């Protein structure tokens, strides 16, 4: 017969062993876990639509199939529309950075543009030396861009395969939602039944609210970025190419709160630098101002109100959670940091608030 201290030690060691095994599985099965998490998030987004169709006496299986087909249609239209633009943009940038073409004096034009806009330093006098230093760097950049393009191509193929798996899993999550919930509830002890049921409902509700808010925030950044670049092209002759694509990329990047405008600046400035126009520095300043305004609107109005309220977190807390997520798992960690923090917050709040009610 074990004493209380021995039981406590055994229980503590069991918990530590469980945590260790869980951490080991997470590190080894990251891809699988990510696919399941993305499937759950997609299920959370699409479930209200399936429920709405079911209210019109359409069987749940058929309702799920209709919603999934619409998702495939939306993805297909998006990919077919954006792929030629992205290919054209990539080819244009690669052409601009080529240095083995004797007729390509683009780099010299860029240097002369800087020289014209920086009167206190004469760059043109050292042109040969500057070109000798820059050309090897640009050759290296060109090679890396080619390799990156190949890696991106492979990543797109892998993403397409994973996307099919995610949608396949989501289909069964949607179709068999009630069966899955019943099976999960059966595993829960009776004394925790009511708490668990309430907790599942609140977590799903908060996830849906967060995803809706994040979609609105990303859309607002995309629209504002596109409109801002359109204004620069129309009234300041900025001639920023692919400004609609840049706006879309900025919006997608803003699925990680506060990141979108920063990504937009990089994508907008890159073609301007490679084209080396006479008023390049002026255009770069305008781009930075434009995306700073977009960032301000996002930080002050959109993200705190839409995203922060959806998880009931202070903007500073959202920012700290993003830093923690990024330091642990990089971009993926930043992407899932806020909803994960929201789930933890709901769980702790529910347990603490209603512990006596549910006799936990």
**Whether residue 222 has pLDDT greater than 90:** yes
Element (H, E) at 290: helix 280-297
Q: How many CB atoms lie within 10 A of CB 177?
A: 17
CA angle 138, 141, 143 (to 5 degrees): 115
Q: Average pLDDT, stretch 117-141?
A: 63
Mind listing the pLDDT tens digit for each residue in 136-191?
A: 776 676 566 556 655 655 666 676 678 888 899 999 999 999 898 888 878 877 77
Widest CA span of the chain, in angstroms? 90
Minimum mean pLDDT among 34-43, 174-183, 233-242, 330-339: which range?
330-339
pLDDT at 102: 41
What is the secondary structure of 7-72 as a DSSP string?
HHHHHHHHHHHHHHHHHHHHHHSHHHHHHHHHHHHHHHHHHHHHHHHHHTT--HHHHHHHHHHHHH
For the CA atoms of 343, 345, 351, 354, what is the dihedral angle to 10 degrees?
-110
pLDDT at 175: 93
**Whether residue 98 has pLDDT greater than 60:** no
Element (H, E) at 332: helix 315-358
What does DSSP assign to residue 256? Answer: S
pLDDT at 249: 87
pLDDT at 239: 87
Q: Quick one: which of 192, 166, 181 has its CA closest to 37?
A: 166
Show the tokens assigned to 70. Answer: 């619409």
**Whether residue 314 has pLDDT greater than 60:** yes
Confidence (pTM):
0.74
- Cα–Cα distance, 187 to 311 (Å, whole number): 28
Element (H, E) at 206: helix 193-235
* Mean pLDDT score of the chain: 78
**Whether residue 203 has pLDDT greater than 70:** yes
Classify residue 139 as exposed, middle or buried by CB count within 10 Å of its CB (0-12, 13-18, 19+): middle
Mind listing the pLDDT tens digit for each residue in 32-82?
A: 877 888 888 889 889 999 999 999 999 999 999 999 999 989 888 887 887
- Category of 239 on φ-ψ map: left (φ > 0), alpha (ψ -120 to 50) or beta: left
Q: Quick one: which of 269, 272, 283, 276 has its CA closest to 237?
A: 283
């Amino acid at each position: 017969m074990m004493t209380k201290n021995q039981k406590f030690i055994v229980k503590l060691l069991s918990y530590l062993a469980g945590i260790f095994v869980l951490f080991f599985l997470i590190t080894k099965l990251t891809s699988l876990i990510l696919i399941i998490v993305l499937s759950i998030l997609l299920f959370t987004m699409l479930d209200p639509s399936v429920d709405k169709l079911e209210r019109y006496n359409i069987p749940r299986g058929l309702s799920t199939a209709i919603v999934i087909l619409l998702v495939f249609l939306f993805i297909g239209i998006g990919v077919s529309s954006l792929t030629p633009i992205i290919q054209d943009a990539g080819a244009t940038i690669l052409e601009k950075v080529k240095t083995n073409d004797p007729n390509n004096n683009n780099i010299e034009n860029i240097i002369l543009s800087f020289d014209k806009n920086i009167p206190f330093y004469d760059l043109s006098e050292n042109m040969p030396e500057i070109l000798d230093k820059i050309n090897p760097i640009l050759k290296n950049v060109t090679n890396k861009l080619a390799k990156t393009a190949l890696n991106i191509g492979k990543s797109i193929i892998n993403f397409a395969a994973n996307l099919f798996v995610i949608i396949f899993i989501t289909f069964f999550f949607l179709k068999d939602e009630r069966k899955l919930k019943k099976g999960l509830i059966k595993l829960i002890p009776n004394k925790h039944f009511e708490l668990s049921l309430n907790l599942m409902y609140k977590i799903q509700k908060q996830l849906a609210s967060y995803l809706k808010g994040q979609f609105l925030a990303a859309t607002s950044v995309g629209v504002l970025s596109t409109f801002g670049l359109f204004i620069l092209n129309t009234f300041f002759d900025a001639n920023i190419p692919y400004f609609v694509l840049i706006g879309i990329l900025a919006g997608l990047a803003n699925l990680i709160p506060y990141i979108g405008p920063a990504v937009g600046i990089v994508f907008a400035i890159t073609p301007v630098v490679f084209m080396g126009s006479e008023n390049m520095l002026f255009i770069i300043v305008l781009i930075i101002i434009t995306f700073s305004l977009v960032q301000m609107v996002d930080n002050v109005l959109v993200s705190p109100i839409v995203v922060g309220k959806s998880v009931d977190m202070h903007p500073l807390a959202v920012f700290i959670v993003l830093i923690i997520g990024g330091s642990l798992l990089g971009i993926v960690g930043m992407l899932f940091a806020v909803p994960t923090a929201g789930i933890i917050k709901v769980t702790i709040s529910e347990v603490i608030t209603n512990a006596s009610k549910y006799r936990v």
